[in-house]
Amino acid sequence: MMRQYELVERVRKYNPRVDEDLLNRAYVYAMKAHGAQTRASGDPYFSHPLEVAAILTDLKLDDATIVAAVLHDTIEDTDATHEEIERLFGKQIGHLVDGLTKIEKLDLVSKQARQGENFRKLLMAVAEDVRVLLVKLADRLHNMRTLHFVPPEKRARIAQETLDIYAPLAGRIGMQRLRDELEELAFRHLSPEAHQAISERLRDLRAKNGRAIRRVEEELTEEFAKRGIEAAVAGRQKAPYSVWRKMERKSISFEQLSDIFGFRIIVGGVEDCYRALGVVHTKWPSVPGRFKDYISTPKQNDYRSLHTTVIGPGHQRVELQIRTAEMHEIARFGIAAHALYKDAAGDEGREELAKESRAFRWLQETLDLLSHGDSPEEFLEHTRLELFQDQVFCFTPKGGLIALPRGATPIDFAYAVHTKLGNSAVGAKINGRVAPVLSHLQNGDEVEIIRAEGHIPPVAWETAVATGKARAAIRRATRESVRQQFAGLGRQIVERAFERANRVFSEDRLKAALPRLARASLEDVLAAVGRGEIYSGDVVKALYPDFTEDRKVTQTPIRPGEPGWFGVKANANVVFKAPGAGGADAIPIRGLSGDAPVSFAPIGGAVPGDRIVGILTQGEGVTIYPIQSPSLTAFDDQPERWLDVRWDIDTERRELFPARVVAQAMNEPGALGALATLIGETGANIDNISFRAHSPDFREMTFDLEVADLKHLTAVIAKLRESPLVSKVERVIG
């Protein structure tokens, strides 16, 4: 275990002005706080925060970050409190340690919800001070280095979480060296056999190709010296996980990989990068399509370098990266390589870091997801989507550059520009040509979005887009659309309830009564009524406490289908006014394309021309039944769910409605085809067919149809009855 003076000396090597007293006090405090606690390995627990601090000294971080690393588990695992840490070590260190502390006693059923909520808190703390993330990544790295001491079931979960979240996150903020080690450790625990097999193949390959690697290094060094370019050339080998990931992604074998070995060329300045590129391309032929300029167009994690692939000695492909020493430091250490990280706390420091670091700007943009109230699970899902590093760079018609993950669509592009643009997108032009909105974008594409005001993004887009921002925005727009539908339905129900009660409906008075209905806004109340969560009569009572409903049972039973019938209930105390009669005050129903959340009876549906009644189903809206449906008896004891509805058909837009017919037909070859043809001739659509053997000679065929109205359905039935194959046809109303 690292001694107290050793920690101070590690910091002093890169920071002569180290606050020795602060480090010593933190060391002693944490050691006493953790006391006799031990880790799964049996080592004193205090050794863990010391190792985390040691990792951060390699990144040359400031005193406050090192102290936060030493103290990072005290609040969570000891009796220490945030207030005490802040009092003893200052507000800045107290804030860092609190940002690293998991949510205490979080009562969430789902492990994924706990994981998502903890990650949400971490990123919120990162938004305030990026050093929180650096400590967290160092903490995860040391935990992964000692993961073999953890029980197997827990080990797999931690390794998968590291591979899904923390390693990509390290990559997105440019800390590639740390990302590589996290991925290797996770891969070793998740797929030990694959890791061992690939590692052995790589060792054999390096032994076999060692001379070729040295030859490339020597030839390049000699060429650069001739041209007066000071350059350091070093061969490198892909890590086992990188090899595995590429084999998986491209579905190729180990032998088919052409870039297991690569070379890194470090030069003095940006101009030298392009001079070195010219030397390489002059000496060896380049591979078309394999040149990438990340200097003029950096990645979002601040990575800058020139990438090219050439046909080198022995006709082998050679991959090269050309960069400056400064670029190399940023590629290895990411955000930690920026001098400004030391002053990252505070608004001014964050603004400066955002200007300096594209990676930090990405972190801030990711936090936009938090402002829309997504669940912890959704936040975790969106963050995973945002962590993918492979990118394409596209342009707006005005020349603006938009970076997107590979596989992104014009919809992702639209939401990356602005949420309103994404919500109103109905089409796209790629490089001046109209293209499907779900096309995959390529590097250099110019994308123009075609808009339509009032458009609502289809639900299917949610699973087709590649960015978390687009997926979250589509989900929010869909929820808002459904909410507006329920609120619209609820308004109609409430207004009719006030009319029946002969009372005046007043929005202002209803707003004043919100506490009695336990809702925060008028729209919340209306949406709750539309969803069936609040009974409309209770809304009337909220405004008029003296209101009482007439709950007298009718003296004369009314048969189903007669005017004024609503289904007299044997044990009911309420008779409503003439549902099914289609009065002017009934709620208008257009169909599935209308503004209200509507569905039709699951057995047999309903068609225009039927007298209908609506049943309010909680969370689903209104289900429309023909008034003679026997299924309505199931709602006899729930009068508050019955709604008076009427058809309101849009004659300019032909819409089909569900209906079911059963035909008893001869059991002979071609019978089904003949009946289907007859149905098609009427203009009806067959949605589903089922069969039941009625006898050896006859088969019962059930057709779920889509027809325009009752007249259309009657014509279908008449057409079937004319067939000599059919002995009986009837409509089914369930």
Spell out the domains of the chain, with CATH numbers in brackets.
Answer: 4-191 (1.10.3210.10), 193-336 (3.30.460.10), 478-543 (no CATH), 550-649 (no CATH), 657-732 (3.30.70.260)
Report the alpha-carbon distance of residue 556 to residue 562 in Å, rounded: 12
Residue 590: which pLDDT band, with cuts at 50, 70 and 90? low
Tens-place pLDDT, residues 99-158:
787 544 334 444 555 556 666 666 666 666 778 888 989 999 999 999 999 988 889 989
**Backbone region of residue 432 per phi and psi (left: phi > 0; alpha: psi in -120 to 50; beta: other values):** left
Say whether 76 is catalytic.
yes
Structural contact between residues 70 and 27, judged by C-beta atoms closer than 8 angstroms: yes
pLDDT at position 87 over 70: yes
Residue 510: which pLDDT band, with cuts at 50, 70 and 90? confident
Top pLDDT among 68 and 566 is at: 68
- pLDDT at 73 (0 to 100): 92
- What mean pLDDT do residues 614-637 have? 85
- What mean pLDDT do residues 470-497 have? 83
pLDDT at position 675 over 60: yes
Q: Would you call 550 exposed, middle or buried from its count of C-beta atoms within 10 A (0-12, 13-18, 19+)?
A: exposed
The H-or-E segment that residue 122 falls in is helix 111-128
Share of the chain above pLDDT 70, in %: 82
Q: Which of 195-209, 554-568, 676-690, 713-727 shows the lowest per-residue confidence on average (mean pLDDT)?
A: 554-568
- Pairing status of strand 598-600 against strand 726-732: unpaired
Six-digit token pair at 501? Answer: 């009660």
Residue 578: which pLDDT band, with cuts at 50, 70 and 90? very low
Q: Cα dist. 60→56, 65, 133 in Å?
A: 6, 10, 15
Residue 608's nearest CA partner among 586, 585, 631, 582 is 582
pLDDT at position 588 over 80: no
Q: Would you call 505 exposed, middle or buried from its count of C-beta atoms within 10 A (0-12, 13-18, 19+)?
A: middle
- Pairing status of strand 292-293 against strand 401-405: unpaired
- pLDDT at 103 (0 to 100): 44
pLDDT at position 410 over 90: yes
Report the alpha-carbon distance of residue 596 to residue 617 in Å, rounded: 13
Residues in the chain, how many? 734
Mean pLDDT, the chain, as a whole number? Answer: 81
Catalytic residue among 19, 43, 77, 549, which? 77
Amino acid at residue number 660: R
3-state secondary structure of 720: helix
- pLDDT at 641 (0 to 100): 82
Structural contact between residues 706 and 657, judged by C-beta atoms closer than 8 angstroms: yes
Structural contact between residues 643 and 673, judged by C-beta atoms closer than 8 angstroms: no
Residue 378: which pLDDT band, with cuts at 50, 70 and 90? low
Tens-place pLDDT, residues 261-294:
789 999 999 999 999 999 999 999 998 888 999 9
Tens-place pLDDT, residues 179-227:
999 999 999 999 999 999 999 988 888 888 778 888 889 999 999 999 9
Top pLDDT among 646 and 13 is at: 13
Sheet containing 306-311: give its strands across.
231-237, 261-267, 317-324, 306-311, 292-293
- pLDDT at 11 (0 to 100): 92
- What mean pLDDT do residues 220-239 have? 90
Read off the DSSP letter of residue 541: H
Residue 638: which pLDDT band, with cuts at 50, 70 and 90? confident
Catalytic residue among 6, 76, 83, 480, which? 76
The H-or-E segment that residue 611 falls in is none
Residue 555: which pLDDT band, with cuts at 50, 70 and 90? very low
According to DSSP, the residues that pair with 661 across neighbouring strands are 703, 731
What are φ and ψ of residue 594, in 5° steps? -75, -175
Six-digit token pair at 349? Answer: 């420091």
Six-digit token pair at 250? Answer: 């491209």
Residue 382: which pLDDT band, with cuts at 50, 70 and 90? low
- pLDDT at 149 (0 to 100): 92
Share of the chain above pLDDT 90, in %: 33
Tens-place pLDDT, residues 645-668:
888 777 677 788 999 999 988 888
According to DSSP, the residues that pair with 729 across neighbouring strands are 663
- pLDDT at 369 (0 to 100): 52
Say whether 524 is catalytic.
no
Six-digit token pair at 111? Answer: 């492990």
Top pLDDT among 286 and 520 is at: 286
Cα three-residue angle 280-282-286, rounded to 5 degrees: 70
- pLDDT at 427 (0 to 100): 93
